[in-house]
């Protein structure tokens, strides 16, 4: 069946020109010519959304989202609550139930809206997952060429060995020009992002043009599919050493997941979304989607260099005052300017990295790293975890937000996100935690909790852990030296096993209490954080899911 026939049968689209699988150069010019919508609060609906820089097609495309959607619209994200799936899903504020009848009626309205408008839609065929064992064909259908270009950047274009392409295909219909009506459609606002697991459809309707929706929504789908196949899907980076020793690094934003996985001595598998099957690990993507705010170009040379490469996308970086974007070199952009959003982003192909593993795949991880950035300055810089400890800290997913990163936030605040990515996890957290423990034990993998946060006091009163010490601790874990020598001491508050020594790291660094001048203040801060762990564990009901409370 040809494309038009396939989309009429799948969605009911008709009378539309489909611009199918355009190369990125064409998509670049299409975005400049046709991507229109609101970019300012109170602004018109037909403003230009995509711009070239001084480098033209040989540099990045700069894209501006609707001002109400500069990140994932988590409160407007749903899954269709089909009766046969309802009991399997971990329903929560950032993944809510959508009535099946209301979804089908809304989808019909969106399709009718597209058919009435006529014109063209962009179609890009890619795959989610580099391993044919679980990879699914993913078809983007949408109004913006920028989104099609983003899909081209972020996902494999072909995965040899994937059979039954049409039967496995997922389709996203992305229509920012539609306006939902909550009273009629059963949603909360003028927009909705809805996953229909039964029919393999994702509907994005309304002001939800943040590029990350194209990526994270199919990641949510994969996080549902893989565990049902006995595989683990993970929000983590991954790399592999010269001895074929693979490692995975879990972590929330700001903990160092991307930075630490980019190691000149190791090949990169991926920086964000990874699958773990019976054969090993593999990237779910073929691109990177990095934060640009306050980027240190010396510390992140790969991202800095990619900003001047063709086929990349810079999202929501403000133009320089008084200078047109078309006259601006990408390296001149002010990456400290968060006036549009702190969540300025950059999409670039995985191939922009200089040292990528063949096929973005590797064997079973020998080292598992749970990253946290403790802004209270009380957690040990590194701890060795056993199976139960892995489940506990994985399911808690702790880090800390810093004062100043959110309006009204005056001091560090504990943040917990189950499995280091709760919004994208449709199964209950215990499903992922048990799979992680099983795979860790079956493959005799080592696990550490690596704290990239502050030492000697809280953020604002003490320095952050030096990157050289964090690298030394990580390298010792990767080589097995933390587990195989020097002995371990039990932390009296956190019940964590802390190594007594580490090559290249001063002994006093390993003891967080020793770095505080005021020991009583350390003890009080440590107990306060421990109690926050306990409160979250109780609040989330993790004990009822079979997780042991180790703290």
Report pLDDT digits (tens) over 419-468.
999 999 999 999 999 999 999 999 999 999 999 999 999 988 999 999 89
- Active-site residue, from 177, 253, 308, 405: 253
- Active-site residue, from 49, 139, 257, 455: 257
Per-residue pLDDT band at 78 (split at 50, 70, 90): very high
pLDDT of residue 350: 93
Per-residue pLDDT band at 405 (split at 50, 70, 90): very low
Report pLDDT digits (tens) over 4-34.
999 999 999 999 999 999 999 999 999 999 9
Q: Which residue has the tokens 């440590």?
A: 526
Sign of the alpha-carbon dihedral angle for 230, 232, 233, 239: negative
- Find how far residue 123's CA is from the centre of its chain: 23
Is 97 annotated as catalytic?
A: no
Token pair belonging to 271: 């920086």
What is the pLDDT averaged over residues 315-327?
A: 97
Token pair belonging to 443: 């493959």
Judged against a pLDDT cut of 60, whether residue 404 lies above it is answered with no
pLDDT of residue 256: 86
- Find how far residue 22's CA is from the centre of its chain: 26
- Active-site residue, from 53, 233, 258, 259: 258
Residue 340 Cα distances to 46, 316, 337, angstroms:
19, 6, 8
Per-residue pLDDT band at 351 (split at 50, 70, 90): very high
- Active-site residue, from 10, 34, 38, 72: 72
pLDDT of residue 408: 39
pLDDT of residue 402: 59
Token pair belonging to 235: 């929000």
Is 9 annotated as catalytic?
A: no
List the CATH code of the domain at 244-258+365-418+432-545: 3.90.228.20
pLDDT of residue 369: 97
SS3 at position 503: coil
Query: Residues 323, 324, 328, CA angle at the centre, nearest 5°?
Result: 80
Per-residue pLDDT band at 163 (split at 50, 70, 90): confident
What is the pLDDT averaged over residues 110-134?
A: 97
Dihedral pair phi/psi, residue 10, rounded to 5°? -75, -45
Per-residue pLDDT band at 407 (split at 50, 70, 90): very low
Nearest to 286 by CA among 435, 148, 155: 155
Nearest to 367 by CA among 436, 418, 435, 440: 440
Domain boundary assignment for the chain: 3-46+72-208, 244-258+365-418+432-545
Token pair belonging to 484: 């195989």
Report pLDDT digits (tens) over 263-289.
888 999 999 999 999 999 999 999 999
List the CATH code of the domain at 3-46+72-208: 3.40.449.10
SS3 at position 490: strand
Indicate the Cα dihedral angle 422, 424, 426, 429, nearest 10°.
-30
- Active-site residue, from 131, 272, 286, 374: 272
CA–CA distance, 147 with 125 (Å, rounded to integer)? 12
Between 455 and 254, residue with greater pLDDT: 455
Strand duo 488-490 + 497-499: pairing: antiparallel
Is 72 annotated as catalytic?
A: yes
- Active-site residue, from 147, 215, 235, 361: 235
Is 528 annotated as catalytic?
A: no
Query: What is the pTM for the complete model shown?
Result: 0.93
- Active-site residue, from 24, 49, 216, 393: 216
Per-residue pLDDT band at 411 (split at 50, 70, 90): low
Is 216 annotated as catalytic?
A: yes
Judged against a pLDDT cut of 60, whether residue 409 lies above it is answered with no
Token pair belonging to 215: 């990526």
pLDDT of residue 1: 61
pLDDT of residue 263: 86
Percent of the chain scoring above 70 in pLDDT:
98
What is the pLDDT averaged over residues 90-107?
A: 97
Q: Where are the beta strands (DSSP E) in 265-401?
A: 267-270, 273-276, 281-283, 287-291, 313-315, 345-349, 361-362, 365-372, 382-384, 398-401
pLDDT of residue 232: 97
Is 297 annotated as catalytic?
A: no
Mean pLDDT for the chain overall: 94
- Active-site residue, from 34, 38, 345, 455: 345
CA–CA distance, 88 with 413 (Å, rounded to integer)? 32
Percent of the chain scoring above 90 in pLDDT:
87
Token pair belonging to 4: 């038009």
């Amino acid at each position: 069946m040809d494309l038009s026939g396939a989309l009429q049968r799948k969605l009911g689209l008709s009378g539309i020109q489909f611009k199918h699988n355009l190369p990125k150069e064409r998509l670049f010019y299409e975005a400049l010519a046709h991507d229109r919508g609101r970019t300012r609060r109170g602004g018109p609906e037909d403003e230009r959304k995509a711009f070239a820089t001084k480098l033209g097609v040989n540099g990045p495309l700069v894209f501006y989202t609707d001002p109400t959607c500069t990140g994932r619209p988590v409160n407007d994200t749903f899954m269709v609550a089909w009766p046969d799936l309802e009991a399997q899903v971990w329903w929560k504020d950032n993944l809510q139930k959508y009535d099946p009848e209301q979804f089908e009626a809304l989808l019909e309205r969106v399709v009718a809206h597209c058919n009435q408008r006529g014109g063209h839609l962009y179609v890009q065929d890619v795959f989610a997952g580099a391993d044919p064992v679980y990879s699914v064909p993913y078809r983007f259908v949408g109004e913006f060429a920028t989104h099609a270009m983003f899909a081209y950047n972020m996902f494999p274009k072909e995965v040899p060995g994937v059979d039954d392409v049409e039967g496995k295909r997922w389709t996203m219909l992305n229509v920012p020009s539609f306006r939902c009506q909550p009273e009629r459609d059963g949603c909360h606002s003028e927009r909705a992002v809805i996953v229909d697991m039964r029919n393999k459809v994702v509907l994005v309707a309304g002001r939800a043009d943040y590029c990350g929706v194209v990526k994270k929504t199919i990641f949510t789908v994969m996080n549902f599919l893989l565990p049902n196949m006995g595989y683990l899907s993970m929000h983590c980076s991954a790399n592999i050493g010269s001895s074929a020793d693979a490692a995975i690094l879990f972590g929330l934003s700001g903990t160092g997941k991307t930075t630490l996985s980019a190691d000149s001595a190791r090949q990169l598998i991926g920086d964000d979304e990874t699958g773990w099957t019976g054969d090993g690990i593999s990237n779910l993507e073929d691109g990177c989607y990095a934060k640009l705010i306050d980027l240190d170009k010396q510390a992140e040379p790969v991202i800095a260099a990619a900003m001047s490469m063709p086929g990349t996308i810079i999202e929501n970086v403000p133009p320089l005052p008084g200078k047109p974007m078309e006259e601006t070199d990408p390296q001149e952009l002010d990456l400290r300017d968060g006036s549009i959003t702190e969540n300025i982003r950059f999409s670039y192909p995985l191939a922009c990295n200089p040292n990528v593993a063949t096929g973005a795949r590797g064997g079973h991880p020998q080292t598992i790293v749970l990253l946290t950035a403790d802004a209270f300055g009380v957690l040990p810089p590194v701890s060795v975890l056993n199976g139960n400890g892995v489940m506990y800290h994985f399911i808690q997913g702790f880090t800390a937000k810093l004062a100043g990163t959110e309006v009204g936030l005056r001091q560090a605040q504990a943040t917990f996100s189950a499995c280091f990515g709760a919004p994208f996890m449709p199964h209950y957290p215990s499903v992922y935690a048990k799979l992680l423990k099983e795979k860790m034990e079956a493959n005799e993998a080592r696990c550490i909790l690596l704290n990239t946060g502050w030492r000697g006091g809280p953020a604002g009163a003490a320095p952050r852990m030096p990157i050289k010490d964090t690298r030394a601790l990580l390298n010792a874990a990767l080589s097995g030296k933390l587990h195989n020598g020097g002995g371990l001491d039990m932390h009296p508050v956190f019940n964590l096993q802390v190594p007594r020594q580490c090559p290249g790291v001063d002994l006093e660094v390993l003891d967080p209490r020793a770095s505080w001048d005021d020991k009583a203040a350390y003890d009080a801060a440590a107990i306060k954080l421990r109690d926050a762990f306990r409160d979250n564990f109780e609040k989330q009901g993790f004990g009822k899911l079979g997780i042991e409370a180790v703290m």
